[in-house]
A and B are shown apart, each in its own frame.
Chain A
Amino acid sequence: MQYQEYTQSENNFEECTKCTICTAYCPVMQVNPLYPGPKQAGPDGERLRLRDPNFFDEALKYCLNCKRCEVVCPSEVRVADIIQSARIKYESNPPKVRDYLLSHTDTMGKLARPFAPVVNFATRQPLTKATMDFTLGIDKHRTFPSYSPHGFEGWLKRRRKEQAAFPEQVAYYHGCYVNYNYPKLGKDLVKVLNAMGIGVQLLEDEKCCGIALISNQFIKAATKNAQFNVEQLSKAVEKGLKVITTSSTCTLTMQEEYPNLLGVDNSAVRDSLLMATRFIYEKLEQGATLPFRPDFHKRVAYHTPCHMQRLGWGVFSQRLLQRIPGIEFTPLEQSCCGISGTYGFKKENYASSQAIGEPLFEQIRSVNPDVVACDCETCKWQIEMSTGYKVENPISILAEAISDKE
């Protein structure tokens, strides 16, 4: 037969053989009976939506976009992409004020930072939380991540000359969280890379990766961010620089969601984006060394964030942590923490969110580590809030394990 050597459809939904393994692994399916599950919401639903767009099911909003369905799919169907694309195409409910506040992380960061102490104080007050719960639908159990009065960008700009002196250079896409909330992670990365003889540059400019905009249906804004970021990343890549990241979700968004959901071509930069743990692990494998402290001791449990799992790079973070002398390492079983970015902040999702995360929290309690390592900031908030255990990015643990100055 000379025709039909392969079949292929937009978002490859026809490759599904209905084996249903995605539904078995979907964390939402375990806790929310209103969600039809990835197979029905994804490939099955797609056929029906092509028949009639009115067959779109509003319950698709319960999808976490954790992408575990894609990880387990033996037919490589991009199930979560099909679901998210359908939401983009057919969802009719306009986003709420709350969704705007939660998703515009760049704008909120810029507004809040000058008043960081006041904002941080205010968002921690039970009265504020109750008010936001009541008026906006942001669950009262949640605490907003604190804003840092001094941004990471400014800190690194002041060290531009010093960084430029290193023989090898990388660019760093820090994302909103490092810049507005937690510059320490960025500083830790600089410390580790500097110790390996590598200098860190900022991109000429960057915007939020846009994942929160996508999941809250601000598609135009997300697309604009995507185009902007790809342009900025290209400039660095043209200079022959690798671009390092410390957030698994930002990375997955720029690598996969840009072309698959937003239709933004990232082919020129896609392969130059690397999670820092992978970059450092590979350097160490090639013979680079780090000045590890002899007196370091820590019991670390590692949680693989869903998007790290989808990237397939969890193994690099694990191996890297295991290389640190003095680490007692326990890998946690694959399981979603339930927050999924802004999803868990919404009042209507709070109960599901906690129910999804419970098996993971239980594991952490039974392992009882000194610290939980994890590459994702929203997993960090969720685990810290739900278990009381401290959560750090593997890069921060690495930074702590090496001597301050040689």
Chain B
Amino acid sequence: MKSNEFDVIIIGGGITGAGTQRDCAMRGLRTLLVDRSDIATGATGRNHGLLHSGARYAVSDPESAQECIRENMILRRVAAHCIDESDGLFVTLPEDDLDYQKTFVQACRNAGIRADIIDPDLARRLEPSVNPDIIGAVRVPDCSVDPFRLCAANMLDAKLHGGQVRLHTEVTGILREGNTVKGIRTHNRNTGEDQEFYAPIVVNAGGVWGQELAQMAGIKVGMFPAKGSLLIFAHRVNNMVINRCRKPSNADILVPGDTVCIVGTTSSRIPLEECRNVAVTPDEVTLLITEGMKLAPRLASTRILRAYAGVRPLVSADDDPSGRNISRGIVCLDHETRDGVKGLITITGGKLTSYRLMAEMATDLVCKKLGVDKACETAVLPLPGSEEGSYEEVAKKIWENPTTAQKVAAARMGSRVSRIRSTDRRDEALICECEQVTMGEINAAIDRLEASTLTDLRRRTRVGMGTCQGEFCACRAAGLLAKAHGCIEKERADIDYFLQERWKGNFPIGWGDTLREAEYTQWVYKHVLGI
């Protein structure tokens, strides 16, 4: 078999694609994953980072709720280092209907989700940032998850199982021979190289862009993109997820994620053409702050780090062009039976929480078509990094007296942190001071996790995600990339792009300390470094 021939090609490096590649690779298939930019650039990296318990869907969509709680419990085991088992609260405010709580708790229990009504006083003690006016509280097993880390761990495991990954590689065409898909034509955006890859099965995991991909194969898949905007606050205000106990609505979830917390979302339908360039509007910012304050009043005086928007890849369940029949559930389309086109599968819809199940469904279908009979093991075998216990145990095993940076690295990388153990003290030098990312961790991401730009590094290591937003770390990390690639000119452009992208997130909330910080960054780069 030639080097450009595979058993299965997966298009899309979001969590669905990465999860599908891992599953396929673990079942012994030769896999290739391609993405036009980086992993987790679409909806995967643009959400709350909430690992749903399912409680949010318990009333409206019991099937999704059951999926969520099952997957939630599985991921706590197999993706432990990506997950913060924070638990969540569903709080009732004076303006909310307390009767809804009963309906809600009953629905949760029916779906198999543990939901305990607790005294509002206990809720205030458990989560001191919560609105003190709450009149009811329910505790549920919500968690927060780092989608970038989760995605990178899936990709890494796929590679460890022989999978190939081509990032910054855009699909320019789907190769068809009659009614059979044969492979894909690609364009590498870094090198400019055009290349074809062949496989009997192509999996379309392009998220909201899956419609365009299907079109290349002459197939119609109706996406109904819905934009959601969120705000990132500069530090953790809450340690538990806080939800409103009412019918799901705007800006009613506050999730603690790593060093920050995130409030969201809004929801508005947008045309497909706008999906690549969504911006947060001033009205959305106002709405997010106003509603967010009702969850945790302290948000009113907490620095906002960024605003960002993502696009939910909602899809019509069948061929209904009106969009009335929109599903938030998992959609796995076998285009052979649906459209008479062999060798193409579309996996879409679903949620971050249910990505593993989506991957399993897609892989089951791939295996059936290829005649491979091997059971799915992704619910049992841990992801790389999640094999050992807590980060404290991991860090203690490696370092006698771990420093903050070492503990933080262990919390981020899990057991993989042993890879950055080094006798070279330079590896301990901090590149990103806000998030305490060391040179060793950056180099490990360049070597093992396919990071070729600063933005790629950010997704894998949190470099540039702290309060300084790249002010100090961008030039340092760029130096390491330049060294790895042997190219300085490209890194100059990379810094420019990275800082512009940081500013894009600062702009909608550009006031106060965030603005001062951005201004300072500009002095450093423009006036001191001359970039």
Q: Which A residues, 216 to 273, have Cβ-Cβ distances below 8 Å to chain B?
A: none
Asked whether, in the complex, the Cβ of B517 is within 8 Å of the Cβ of A17, the reply is: yes
Asked whether, in the complex, the Cβ of B408 is within 8 Å of the Cβ of A55, the reply is: yes
Q: Which B residues, 420 to 475, have Cβ-Cβ distances below 8 Å to chain A?
A: 430, 433-434, 436, 466-468, 471-472
- CB-CB under 8 A from A16, the residues of chain B are 467
| Residue of B234, B300, B403 touching A14 (CB-CB under 8 A) | B234
- CB-CB under 8 A from B401, the residues of chain A are 58
Asked whether, in the complex, the Cβ of B303 is within 8 Å of the Cβ of A47, the reply is: no
- CB-CB under 8 A from B516, the residues of chain A are 17, 75
Q: Give the complex CA separation of A16 and B290 in angstroms.
A: 25
Asked whether, in the complex, the Cβ of B467 is within 8 Å of the Cβ of A51, the reply is: no
Task: Mark contacts of A49-86 with chain B using CB atoms, 8 A cut-off: 1 yes-contact digit, 0 otherwise.
Answer: 01110111111000000000000000100000000000
Task: Mark contacts of B224-238 with chain A using CB atoms, 8 A cut-off: 1 yes-contact digit, 0 otherwise.
Answer: 000000000011100
Q: Does A3 contact B (CB under 8 A)?
A: yes
Q: Does A48 contact B (CB under 8 A)?
A: yes
Asked whether, in the complex, the Cβ of B289 is within 8 Å of the Cβ of A4, the reply is: yes
Nearest-CB residue, chain B, relative to A12:
B513
- CB-CB under 8 A from A46, the residues of chain B are 235
- CB-CB under 8 A from B234, the residues of chain A are 14, 47
Asked whether, in the complex, the Cβ of B286 is within 8 Å of the Cβ of A18, the reply is: no
Q: Does A44 contact B (CB under 8 A)?
A: yes
Q: Does A92 contact B (CB under 8 A)?
A: no
- CB-CB under 8 A from A19, the residues of chain B are 520
- CB-CB under 8 A from B467, the residues of chain A are 14, 16, 18, 47
Tally of B interface residues using CB under 8 Å? 39
| Residue of A13, A18, A51 touching B236 (CB-CB under 8 A) | A51
Tally of A interface residues using CB under 8 Å? 35
Asked whether, in the complex, the Cβ of B512 is within 8 Å of the Cβ of A47, the reply is: no
Task: Mark contacts of B293-312 with chain A using CB atoms, 8 A cut-off: 1 yes-contact digit, 0 otherwise.
Answer: 10000001111100000000
- CB-CB under 8 A from B304, the residues of chain A are 4, 7
Asked whether, in the complex, the Cβ of B302 is within 8 Å of the Cβ of A7, the reply is: yes
* A12 CB, min distance to chain B CBs, angstroms: 10
Q: Does A186 contact B (CB under 8 A)?
A: no
| Residue of B289, B293, B407 touching A54 (CB-CB under 8 A) | B407
Task: Mark contacts of A195-232 with chain B using CB atoms, 8 A cut-off: 1 yes-contact digit, 0 otherwise.
Answer: 00000000000000000000000000000000000000
Q: Can you list 26 A-B contacts (CB < 8 A)?
A: A1-B285, A3-B300, A4-B289, A4-B301, A4-B511, A5-B512, A7-B512, A7-B513, A9-B302, A9-B303, A14-B513, A17-B513, A17-B516, A18-B471, A36-B404, A44-B433, A44-B436, A44-B466, A47-B235, A47-B466, A47-B467, A51-B259, A55-B408, A58-B401, A59-B403, A75-B516
* A interface residue numbers (CB < 8 A to B): 1-9, 13-20, 36, 39-40, 44-48, 50-52, 54-59, 75
Shortest Cβ-Cβ A-B pairs, 6 listed:
A7-B303, A14-B303, A57-B404, A18-B468, A50-B236, A17-B517
* B interface residue numbers (CB < 8 A to A): 234-236, 258-259, 282, 285-286, 289-290, 293, 300-304, 392, 401, 403-404, 407-408, 411, 430, 433-434, 436, 466-468, 471-472, 509, 511-513, 516-517, 520
